[in-house]
Amino acid sequence: MNASFWRQNGAYLLILGIGAAGIIGAAASGVEGASEAALGATIVATVGWAAFDYFRGSPGDEPDAFERSLGEAREHERAAKAALKSRLIWTSATRENCPAAMSARLETAIGLFPEFIALADGRIWLAGERDWWGWPDPPRFFLVGFDEGGDLAAATDFGNWPKCWNRPAGLARQ
């Protein structure tokens, strides 16, 4: 077990260890119901810690494809879901009209070059269609938004091309 294992799981193991010691101590005390109370407290503490760790995005968590924390990923998904409801005008993305740093980051993260590009709300939006999609693969389309500084600001996957968006040339009918 390496240091990464202990960083990711140390708090859980400590809570379980303290809980186990409490259960053993309670059982040895002979007080009726003490073992069950100690077990309940251990379960509540473990679930509470897991929920806290999940929602804060532990620094020990494995990063996603864009190397974001869980909190950043959730914020980016909310921003992208809002874009799915707004009107975006798409054109075909080419190596000439798509910023190289943004397309390179997308290609590195998910292995796809964007097929479509849109400019709206101070963001550069990139979208594309996957060759393989549907369970167990990701949804059919991806959407990524970058701010004017080139930083990732939004990202999500989605199954159906929104009706409020134009259908760029090259997009197959659903």
φ, ψ of residue 52 in degrees (nearest 5): -60, -45
- SS3 category, 167: coil
Is the pTM value of this prediction over 0.75? no
Find tokens 């202990």 and name the residue. Answer: 6
Instruction: For 38-90, write each residue's pLDDT tens digit.
Output: 677 777 677 766 666 655 555 455 567 888 888 898 999 999 999 999 999 99
Considering only CA atoms, which of 128, 148, 123 is closest in space to residue 138? 128
User: What residue segments make up the domains of the chain, in order of their start?
Assistant: 3-56, 70-158
- Beta strand spans in the chain (E): 91-92, 116-120, 123-129, 141-147, 152-158
| CA–CA distance, 85 with 144 (Å, rounded to integer) | 14
Does pLDDT of 17 surpass 60? Answer: yes
Instruction: For 94-124, write each residue's pLDDT tens digit.
Output: 888 888 888 888 888 888 889 999 999 899 9
Per-residue pLDDT, 57: 53
